[in-house]
């Protein structure tokens, strides 16, 4: 059934793409309604990572309450290493509470810290998606998000750190009430208008930044479909008015994280440059981990295929803004889950961002393990193998088939409407000596750039990269 649905989907998407893949006004990426495209008209399949950054992810207080959690700094070494691993996008969570802690007053010192993170990535050749992030609505009552003045009704209790009860905070009456007020149709509280003004301020700041691809409106929103659609449309308009050349990313309800399902719209997203951005955590958050341990490829594929079908209904590209699971070198289920995700994201032409770069609190899911006694970070080989795979960074034409191996050491690409521009294929260092490049079955010379891991492949036929 999945294979039949996929075949129909490929046919529909192929007919939906523009006859002309060129994107002369991309800054740096644009949408053709199915794919992201670069300035040369190539399809961009981004492989990214989320990074919660000290001073940018706003979880501290100035009234004596303890910080909610420790956060790592982002250094030039981090950004350079991202690029070496083939991670060409940083999804950067920022918070309304940081941008506008006082109603109508934007905090320039906070935005300077955002600037520093954006420029760190840019200097390393990493693109940036600025994500207006929240978890449990606000740091004042949850983990991060809105400033105190934007919590209505006013909270009955302000909370501090250390954050050890996020699940309970998410379900608390004051968090649920804040979401209901914010997302109410017609915006009677005026909070959506205030949020959109803040979003526009941020968008205008980065409207001409060459590394910033766009803005994600609201992380893991909790609202009814009609409420969310109305909010997203107005927020997208505000963002595009301030930054006409930047993409606008929007998510379904956070409930999809648990159900692997979101309702399909009956109309395309009305704002140009929109990108559908669900998260995929199939079986990850279930209290009983039996389903995760026994997950089949078909079960995982149904979820990813669902996101592609949802994106198609919205008439947008697909960006999986978060996915991941806790690293465990002795648990083969984690390897299977992540390897399968890598294959499926290729198969369904989804860009993505792994959760998370570094983390010393909560689940410690990061690419790095942290030693608190010495405050040192060490790469986890298991996680590096999950996210640093041979992948098609840019495809010159419209892809019809992109298939990769479970281990991430090979990829097969077929296209329609090929162009004269070269494909760009990322090859991790661990496969640099074994990877061979073939065009229509014949091996060709295509040197690997040591700094970026990219291989430039001029081929208008079938491309294979692997052993």
Please list, in sequence order, all residues whose beta carbon lies within 8 angstroms of the beta carbon of residue 139, skipping any fewer than 6 positions away: 58, 59, 61, 68, 95, 97, 145
Tokens 């990813």 correspond to 304
Question: SS3 for 183?
Answer: helix
**Burial class for 70, CB neighbours closer than 10 Å (0-12, 13-18, 19+):** middle
pLDDT (tens, 9 = 90+) of the chain, 467 residues, equals 565 556 556 555 655 554 433 333 347 999 999 999 999 999 999 999 999 999 999 999 999 999 999 999 999 999 999 999 999 999 999 999 999 999 999 999 999 999 999 999 999 999 999 999 999 999 999 999 999 999 999 999 999 999 999 999 999 999 999 999 999 999 999 999 999 999 999 999 999 999 999 999 999 999 999 999 999 999 999 999 999 999 999 999 999 999 999 999 999 999 999 999 999 999 999 999 999 999 999 999 999 999 999 999 999 999 999 999 988 878 899 999 999 999 999 999 999 999 999 998 887 799 999 999 999 999 999 999 999 999 999 999 999 999 999 999 999 999 999 999 999 999 999 999 999 999 999 999 999 999 999 999 999 999 999 99
Q: Do β-strands 463-466 and 436-439 pair in parallel, antiparallel, or remain unpaired?
A: antiparallel
Structural domains in the chain plus CATH codes: 45-388 (3.20.20.80)
What pLDDT score was predicted for residue 362?
A: 82
Q: Tokens for 462? A: 């079938």
pLDDT for the residue 331: 87
In this prediction, residue 20 carries a pLDDT of 39
Q: How far is CA 37 from CA 28, 314, 421, in A?
A: 9, 17, 13
Q: Rounded distance, CA 44 to CA 213, Å?
A: 12
- The torsion of the CA quartet 449, 450, 452, 457, rounded to 10 degrees, works out to 20
Tokens of 250: 């929007």
* Residues 6+ positions from 247 with CB-CB distance below 8 Å: 29, 30, 31, 36, 213, 214, 215, 273, 274, 275
* Residues sharing a CB contact under 8 Å with residue 20, sequence separation 6 or more, in sequence order: 41
Residue 82 near residue 74, CB atoms below 8 Å: no
- Residue 378 CA, chain-centre distance (Å), reads 24
* Neighbour order of strands in the sheet with 43-44: 30-31, 36-37, 43-44, 391-395, 423-426, 454-457
Q: Do 349 and 403 form a contact (C-beta atoms < 8 A)?
A: no
Q: What pLDDT does residue 361 have?
A: 87
Give residue 425's pLDDT: 99
Question: Exposure pattern of 215-228 as b/e (b: 16+ CB <10 Å)?
Answer: bbbbbbbbbeeebb
- Residues forming beta bridges with residue 93, ordered by sequence position: 131
Cα–Cα distance for residue pair 185/229, rounded to 1 Å: 10
């Amino acid at each position: 059934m999945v294979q039949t649905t996929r075949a129909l989907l490929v046919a529909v998407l192929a007919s939906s793409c523009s006859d002309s893949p060129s994107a002369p006004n991309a800054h740096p990426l644009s949408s053709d309604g199915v794919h992201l495209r670069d300035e040369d008209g190539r399809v961009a399949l981004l492989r990214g990572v989320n990074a919660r950054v000290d001073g940018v992810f706003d979880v501290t207080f100035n009234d004596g309450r303890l910080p909610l959690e420790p956060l790592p700094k982002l250094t030039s070494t981090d950004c350079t290493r991202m690029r070496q691993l083939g991670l060409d996008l940083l999804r950067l969570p920022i918070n309304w509470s940081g941008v506008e802690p006082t109603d109508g007053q934007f905090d320039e010192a906070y935005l300077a810290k955002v600037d520093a993170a954006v420029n760190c990535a840019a200097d390393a050749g990493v693109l940036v998606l600025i994500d207006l992030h929240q978890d449990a609505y606000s740091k004042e009552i949850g983990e991060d998000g809105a400033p105190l003045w934007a919590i209505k009704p006013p909270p009955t209790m302000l909370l501090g750190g250390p954050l050890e009860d996020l699940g309970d905070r998410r379900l608390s009456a004051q968090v649920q009430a804040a979401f209901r007020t914010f997302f109410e149709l017609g915006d009677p509280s005026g909070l959506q208008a205030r949020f959109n003004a803040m979003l526009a301020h941020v968008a205008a700041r980065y409207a001409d930044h060459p590394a910033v691809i766009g803005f994600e409106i609201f992380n893991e929103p909790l609202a009814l479909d009609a409420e969310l659609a109305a909010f997203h449309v107005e927020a997208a308009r505000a963002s595009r008015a301030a930054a006409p050349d930047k993409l606008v990313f929007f998510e379904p309800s956070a409930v999809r994280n648990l159900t692997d399902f979101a309702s399909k719209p009956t109309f395309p997203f009305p704002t140009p440059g929109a990108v559908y951005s669900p998260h995929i955590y199939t079986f990850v958050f279930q209290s009983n981990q039996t389903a995760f341990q026994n997950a089949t490829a078909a079960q995982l594929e149904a979820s990813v295929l669902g996101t592609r079908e949802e994106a198609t209904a919205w008439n947008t590209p697909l960006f999986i803004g978060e996915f991941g699971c806790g690293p465990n070198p002795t648990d083969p289920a984690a390897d299977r889950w992540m390897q399968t995700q890598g294959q499926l994201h290729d198969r369904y032409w989804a860009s993505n961002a792994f959760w998370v770069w570094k983390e010393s609190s909560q689940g410690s899911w990061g690419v790095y393990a942290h030693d608190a006694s010495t405050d040192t970070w060490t790469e986890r080989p298991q996680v590096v193998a999950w996210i640093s795979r041979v992948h098609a960074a840019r495809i010159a034409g419209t892809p019809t088939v992109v298939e990769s191996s479970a281990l991430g050491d090979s990829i097969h690409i077929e296209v329609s409407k090929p162009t004269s521009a070269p494909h760009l294929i990322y090859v991790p260092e661990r496969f640099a000596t074994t990877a061979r490049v073939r065009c229509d079955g014949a091996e060709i010379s295509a040197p690997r750039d040591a700094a970026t891991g990219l291989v430039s492949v001029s081929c208008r036929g079938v491309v294979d990269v692997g052993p």
